[in-house]
Amino acid sequence: MGSIGDRIRELRGEMQQSELADKMGVHKNTMANYERGDRFPDVNILLKILEVFPDTNPAWLLTGEGSKNRSEPVQGGFVMFPRYEIEAGAGPGRNVQSEQVVDFVSFKEEWVQNFLRVPRKDLALLSVKGDSMNPTLNDGDMILVDLRSERIEDSAIYVLEFDDALLVKRIQRKLDGSVVIKSDNQLYDAEILQKDRAEALKIIGRVVWSGRRM
């Protein structure tokens, strides 16, 4: 199966390492570090690799599993978003351990531009874990998060970071500086953070889309 560096080298084939580095917009020494496994490519590099080698199966590139080539050709007018292995907890939360990409999901570019109206670079794709946001969000649902959103809107759903955990919740800021964190599932009580604790609450972004497997 090898490492991701081995797979990058396999994709490069007879292409010079310096040529691929130029296409990636990185120094050739950086490319050498990727191929040796001394450095893991970030999401932007992974996306560029998939642009240079459009027939590559993203799952194979990341994990070495499955076929090297896509089963279907890449369609024009689509953009791919990396899905992070961080699961944004819709229950009691989960420690943020890493931000490794586990796969890619394609969305129609026109839909992203005209419906979401959020620049691609400001969107992140995460997975929901838990049932506290039922029936709005279920365990395993995917969510697109607008990372620019820092202002609280009472009717919106946010990804929050608090005590090293990611949460998907509705939030309400009160005049006294406290914050109410609410679940859609009525089995879960709302939690009130007084002003001193609320200051430690970080808004990662606002949920602008959700999707689920049928």
Residue 172 has φ and ψ, to the nearest 5°, of -135, 125
Which of 34-38, 75-79, 126-130, 207-211 is predicted least confidently? 75-79
C-alpha–C-alpha distance, residues 38 and 59, integer Å: 21
The encoded tokens of residue 141 equal: 């649902």
pLDDT in tens, 44-92: 888 889 889 988 888 888 888 778 887 665 566 888 888 876 767 776 6
Q: Delineate the domains of the chain, giving CATH numbers in brackets.
A: 4-63 (1.10.260.40), 79-211 (2.10.109.10)
Mean pLDDT of the residues in the chain? 85
* Largest interatomic CA distance in the chain: 65
pLDDT in tens, 118-131: 888 888 898 888 89
The encoded tokens of residue 125 equal: 């794709």
Average pLDDT of span 104-109: 85
DSSP secondary-structure letter at 95? B
Whats the size of the chain, residue-wise? 214
The encoded tokens of residue 11 equal: 């994709």
> Sorting pLDDT into bands at 50, 70 and 90, what band is 98?
very low
Asked if residue 96 has pLDDT above 60, the reply is no
Q: pTM higher than 0.85 for the full model?
A: no
CA dihedral 81→87→91→95, nearest 10 degrees, is -140
Q: What angle do CA 165, 171, 177 make, to 5 degrees?
A: 100
The reported pLDDT for the residue numbered 100 is 64
C-alpha–C-alpha distance, residues 194 and 181, integer Å: 11
